[in-house]
């Protein structure tokens, strides 16, 4: 996927200035952000189907805990499948779970693969964004009442999504028929399970816009989970560095240091895997990196899904495992103060 930087900045500027974009309040509220599940028909070409248990676990938790849902785009895979086919497969599971939240607790943002929810532009309405069954963006105020957060799917400015979507969809629909054979022979695997389908300059462009405009951006699209402008690969390097210091500390027993070395080795393997899958990126080469870019990841990882959630002032990046047993349903990768991040971005 290629990206037009100028078009991206123009689109984000327009959305941020748009007074018709709905504003949510984080204070006293809970929001769960989910994107890029790409639900299909449950067949061989449906890359999401194995992670259905993980998403059901997440939805059950968020419903029980009183969260509202923000579906941040590409929930359905309409480039490959018709709505009827997706509904037949997931109506009694995923859609049924979402309906339990009630319409007032579900916000839908359209992405490039489920653009149909955006609908056609209505010529009788006064503003281009007041259209369809889903919005292109939401804004949010932090706990302190500061308006400093923009939520979009993140395809704005993607050349194949915005300018040539008709061709992209045509190609993907043609490819759907041979995809199971391509997977079986090892010629093809889904981007989320191997390498991200979006180049690293995508994150750099959105990060640069947020840093320049002093706006905290929450999006999806790239299938790379990012928290406060740091990827999982960044976090792994930080953990490895801390453990390496401990491993050389002679105050620990030999057994303890040996256990630390094993953990370092495991984390290094995970880091190499992140690199191989194109998820190790550097957003800012300078020493003034700002926590202005968050990405909810996707529902297509080989072992589960990721979500972002906001509880009043706390924002978290959560991994939901599809093979979880008992109470071990999720792992919180990172968490922090949303208002503190907004303040730092503004500063």
- Of residues 143 and 114, which shows the higher confidence score? 143
> What pLDDT shows up at residue 84?
92
For residue 114, is pLDDT > 70?
yes
Task: With cut-offs at 50, 70 and 90, classify the pLDDT of residue 324.
Answer: low
Digit-coded pLDDT (tens) for 195-227: 555 666 788 999 999 999 999 999 999 998 999
Identify the band that residue 116 occupies on the pLDDT scale cut at 50, 70 and 90: confident
Residues 36-55, mean pLDDT to the nearest whole number: 95
Pick 210 or 176 by higher pLDDT. Answer: 210
Q: Which is it for the CA torsion 97, 100, 102, 105, positive or negative? A: negative
Cα–Cα distance for residue pair 328/276, rounded to 1 Å: 28
Please determine, for residue 178, whether its predicted confidence score (pLDDT) is greater than 60: no
Asked whether the beta carbons of 295 and 32 are under 8 A apart, the reply is no
Q: Burial, 238: exposed, middle or buried (Cβ in 10 Å; 0-12, 13-18, 19+)? A: exposed
Mean pLDDT of 146-175: 64
Place of tokens 């090892």: 186
Task: Name which of 138, 104, 9 is nearest 129 in CA terms.
Answer: 138
Average of per-residue pLDDT across 39-61: 95
Q: pLDDT class for 159, splitting at 50, 70, 90?
A: low
The tens digit of pLDDT for each residue in 142-152 reads 999 999 999 99
- Contacts of 232-237 with CB under 8 Å at 24 or more apart are 232/274, 232/279, 232/333, 233/271, 233/274, 233/275, 233/279, 233/280, 233/281, 234/280, 235/333, 235/334, 236/267, 236/270, 236/271, 236/274, 237/271
What's the rounded Cα separation, in Å, for the pair 208 and 212? Answer: 6
Q: Are 40 and 81 in contact (CB under 8 A)?
A: yes
pLDDT at 28 over 80: yes
More confident residue, 320 or 130: 320
Tokens of 182: 């391509």
Lowest mean pLDDT among 216-220, 237-241, 313-317: 237-241
At 176 the pLDDT is 46
Q: Are strands 68-71 and 106-108 parallel, antiparallel or unpaired?
A: parallel
pLDDT the model gives residue 190:
46
Q: Kindly state the average pLDDT of the residues 323-338.
A: 80
Q: 310: burial class by Cβ within 10 Å (0-12, 13-18, 19+)? A: buried
Of 153-157, 158-162, 330-334, 337-341, the poorest mean pLDDT is in: 158-162
Q: State phi, psi for 117 to the nearest 5 degrees.
A: -65, -20
* Cα gap 49→93, rounded to integer Å: 11
- Under CATH, which architecture does the 5-229+283-346 domain have? 4-Layer Sandwich (3.60)
Put simply, whether the predicted model's pTM sits higher than 0.85 gets the answer: no
- Give the residue with greater pLDDT, 159 vs 12: 12
Higher model confidence: residue 285 or residue 207?
207
Q: Which of 87-101, 199-213, 253-267 has the lowest mean pLDDT?
A: 199-213
Residue 166 has pLDDT above 50, yes or no: no
Show Cβ contacts of residue 190 under 8 Å, excluding neighbours closer than 6 positions. 47, 300
The domain ranges of the chain are 5-229+283-346, 231-280
Q: Does the pLDDT of residue 175 top 70, yes or no?
A: no
Alpha-carbon gap, residue 158 to 5, rounded angstroms: 9
Cβ burial 163-200 (10 Å sphere, 16+ → b, else e): eebeebbeebeeebeebeeebeeeeeebbbbeebbbeb
Average pLDDT over residues 17-24: 95
């Amino acid at each position: 996927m290629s990206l037009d930087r100028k078009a991206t900045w123009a689109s984000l500027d327009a959305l941020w200035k748009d007074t018709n974009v709905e504003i949510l309040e984080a204070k006293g509220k809970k929001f769960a952000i989910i994107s890029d599940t790409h639900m299909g028909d449950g067949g061989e070409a449906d890359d999401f189907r194995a992670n259905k248990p993980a998403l059901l676990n997440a939805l059950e938790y968020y419903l029980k805990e009183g969260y509202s849902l923000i579906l941040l785009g590409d929930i359905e895979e309409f480039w490959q499948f018709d709505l009827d086919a997706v509904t037949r497969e997931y109506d009694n599971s995923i859609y049924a779970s979402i309906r339990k939240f009630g319409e007032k607790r579900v916000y839908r943002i359209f992405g490039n693969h489920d653009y149909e929810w955006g609908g056609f532009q209505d010529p009788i309405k006064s503003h281009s964004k007041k259209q369809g069954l889903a919005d292109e963006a939401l804004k949010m105020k932090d706990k302190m009442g500061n308006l400093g957060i923009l939520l979009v799917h993140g395809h704005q400015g993607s050349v194949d999504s915005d300018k040539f979507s008709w061709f992209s969809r045509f190609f993907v629909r043609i490819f759907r028929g041979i995809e199971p054979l391509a997977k079986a022979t090892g010629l093809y695997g889904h981007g989320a399970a191997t390498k991200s389908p979006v180049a690293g300059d995508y994150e750099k462009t959105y990060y640069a816009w947020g840093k320049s405009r002093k706006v905290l951006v929450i999006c999806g699209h790239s299938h790379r989970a990012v928290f406060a402008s740091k990827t999982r690969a960044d976090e792994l390097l930080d953990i490895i560095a801390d453990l390496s210091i401990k491993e050389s500390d002679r105050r620990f027993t030999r057994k303890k240091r040996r256990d630390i070395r094993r953990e370092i080795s495991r984390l290094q393997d995970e880091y190499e895997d992140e690199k191989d899958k194109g998820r190790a990126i550097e957003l800012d080469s300078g020493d003034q990196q700002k926590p202005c870019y968050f990405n909810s990841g996707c529902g297509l990882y080989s072992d589960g899904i990721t979500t972002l959630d906001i509880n009043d002032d706390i924002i978290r990046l959560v991994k939901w495992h599809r093979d979880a047993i008992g109470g071990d349903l999720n792992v919180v990768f990172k968490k922090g103060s949303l208002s503190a991040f907004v303040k730092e971005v503004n500063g």
